Amino acid sequence: MEQTFFAKLPLLEECQVLVAGAGPAGLCAAVSAAREGCDVLLIEKLGSVGGALTAGHIRTCMGGVSEGTMRDELGKLLETGGACIPHDTEKAKYRLALWLKENGVRLLLGTCVCGVTKEASSVTGVVVATADGLMRIDAKEVIDATGDGTVAVLAGVPFEKGRASDGLMQPASILYTIAGVESDLVCTHESDDTLLPDSRSYLALCKEAHLSGELPKNVDIVRLYGGAAKDERLVNANQLCYVDGTSPADIAASDLELRRQIHQVTNFLRNNLPGFEHCRVLQSGEMPGFRETRRLEGREKLEASDISSGRKREDVLVHNALFCFDTHNPDGGGQAEDLETARAVKPYDIPFGCFVPKEIRHLLFVGRCISGSHKAHSSYRVMNICMAMGEAVGLAAALAVIRKIPSCEMNVSDIQQKLEQRGVCLFDSKVS
Ligand SMILES: Cc1cc2nc3c(=O)[nH]c(=O)nc-3n(C[C@H](O)[C@H](O)[C@H](O)COP(=O)(O)OP(=O)(O)OC[C@H]3O[C@@H](n4cnc5c(N)ncnc54)[C@H](O)[C@@H]3O)c2cc1C
């Protein structure tokens, strides 16, 4: 019934590879596919490209991967060299859009996927909501880079949410930047023993303010990243638990509460930190940031044990991914794990099967919605790792189109060979 309705919708576009979502994973997937000579259409529901990296105000690209991936290219484009230094989101919006154009990717903004067209178990395209109403886009291969796994779920791919014990997901936050700081103070992590000018511990001050109610309920650390303009700090502090980033009502509630917290946290900084008396909010995420929503079921599932043991795979597409287990507490303040547990990780591989659904054909997924457990997700979700995933998966889709086979039937060694020809290191032990 639904498919009969979709078939009657006006055709907006046709393409070989369609990528839905222009975050770090989708951008790289689109450029990667286009570099194989495919006709690639990238569609994005917002009015600019970059996803969390721009509109989400997540200004620090984190995570290690092997040498030669698109993470290196984007590090240059963002002027960070791939290091954890806040990038300029305004420059990024323009440069990323230009990068797409220069690489021959066709882009549609303000275009939200709200349905999937299918023939039996094969995806044939998507239905999008635009200002002109619902329309169809036909594609040979579709890549879900929506972060939320929306395309895959609409195509019928099963998914999980949250941790196994109670289904709770990581909390939401809105990151923001303050300006007008006249101090050198930075604090990026629970393990930083930052001191105030009078030698008091900054972290202890945060804890006291949390207990007294000066800071919001679940906020006991206010992370302050420096490294861009001298008088600016990127603030990662506010937090809201028990919300679901795929629920429109929860998104609205998160937006209101987290913006209230921005002012509470900023007042704490002004009132307690020498040099922060005149700081002001310069810019914030355009929407609440949800660290975790749906995790799709793939042919394979990345487990926490793969990450703690540094498991290497013959069917690797992302090599030597490295980031701690970064689980912001789903049920209170701080982190869910102690530092020792969080840091018990080794460079690991992400195999092809984590990007491929079990039953549905002509569909791949990439980015934070890939197939993995709640704990594994807390590591692979960071942006540098998502970029490397995007490159590999975009290439897989392009090669499938060129060979006229469904992407799920691609021979992994063919994808690997092409990645290596591009300079991506897949089988050695160096981590950059
Ligand atoms: C609060 C917070 C702090 C974080 N801090 C860091 C950090 O410091 N460093 C780091 O590296 N990572 C951090 N992360 C993680 C990281 O930002 C994400 O995991 C990463 O951006 C995922 O990339 P992605 O491309 O999969 O998804 P996103 O960046 O979420 O991009 C998905 C894109 O798809 C679009 N989209 C969604 N649905 C549709 C649809 N139906 N139709 C069309 N388009 C759609 C979205 O608008 C978006 O542009 C943080 C995340 C959050 C929320």
Secondary structure element (H or E) that encloses residue 299, with its range: none
Q: Which residue has the CA at smallest separation from atom 39 of ligand 1?
A: 146
Which residues, in sequence order, are CB contacts of 361 under 8 Å at separation 6+?
Answer: 121, 122, 123, 406, 407, 408
What pLDDT band is residue 430 in, cutting at 50, 70 and 90? very low
Segment 314-320 mean pLDDT = 97
- Pocket of ligand 1 contains residue 60 by CB under 6 Å: yes
Secondary structure element (H or E) that encloses residue 227, with its range: none
Looking at residue 334, what is its pLDDT? 84
CA dist 2 and 197 (Å) reads: 65
Looking at residue 277, what is its pLDDT? 98
Pairing of strands 106-108, 172-173: unpaired
Q: Which amino acid is at 120?
A: A
pTM: 0.97
- Average pLDDT along the chain: 96
- Pocket of ligand 1 contains residue 29 by CB under 6 Å: no
Looking at residue 208, what is its pLDDT? 96
Looking at residue 264, what is its pLDDT? 98
pLDDT of 431 above 70: no
Picking from 31, 32, 78, the residue whose alpha carbon sits closest to that of residue 53 is: 78
Pairing of strands 289-290, 172-173: antiparallel
Q: Which residue has the CA at smallest separation from atom 19 of ligand 1?
A: 381
CA dist 170 and 318 (Å) reads: 24
Segment 65-86 mean pLDDT = 93
In a mutational test of the pocket of ligand 1, which residue from 130, 223, 329, 383 has the highest number of ligand atoms less than 8 Å from its CB?
A: 383
Segment 33-50 mean pLDDT = 98
What pLDDT band is residue 429 in, cutting at 50, 70 and 90? low
Cα 59 to ligand 1 centroid, rounded to whole Å:
12
List pLDDT tens digits, range 242-265.
999 999 999 999 999 999 999 999
Cα 408 to ligand 1 centroid, rounded to whole Å:
25
**Within a 10 A sphere around the Cβ of 8, how many other Cβ atoms?**
7
What pLDDT band is residue 227 in, cutting at 50, 70 and 90? confident
- Pocket of ligand 1 contains residue 406 by CB under 6 Å: no
Segment 1-20 mean pLDDT = 95
Looking at residue 428, what is its pLDDT? 77
User: Which two three-digit tokens encode residue 295?
Assistant: 């995790």
Segment 268-287 mean pLDDT = 97
User: Which two three-digit tokens encode residue 252?
Assistant: 């609205």
CA dist 386 and 26 (Å) reads: 9
CA dist 370 and 146 (Å) reads: 11
CB 318, CB 385: distance < 8 Å: yes
Which residues in 336-387 belong to E strands, given as ranges? 348-351, 363-365
What pLDDT band is residue 133 in, cutting at 50, 70 and 90? very high
Secondary structure element (H or E) that encloses residue 372, with its range: none
Q: Which amino acid is at 70?
A: M
- Pocket of ligand 1 contains residue 61 by CB under 6 Å: yes
Which residues in 280-325 belong to E strands, given as ranges? 280-284, 289-290, 294-296, 316-321
- Pocket of ligand 1 contains residue 396 by CB under 6 Å: no
Atom number in ligand 1 closest to CA 173: 1
Looking at residue 189, what is its pLDDT? 84
What pLDDT band is residue 432 in, cutting at 50, 70 and 90? very low
List pLDDT tens digits, range 162-221.
999 999 999 999 999 999 999 999 998 888 889 998 999 999 999 999 999 999 999 999
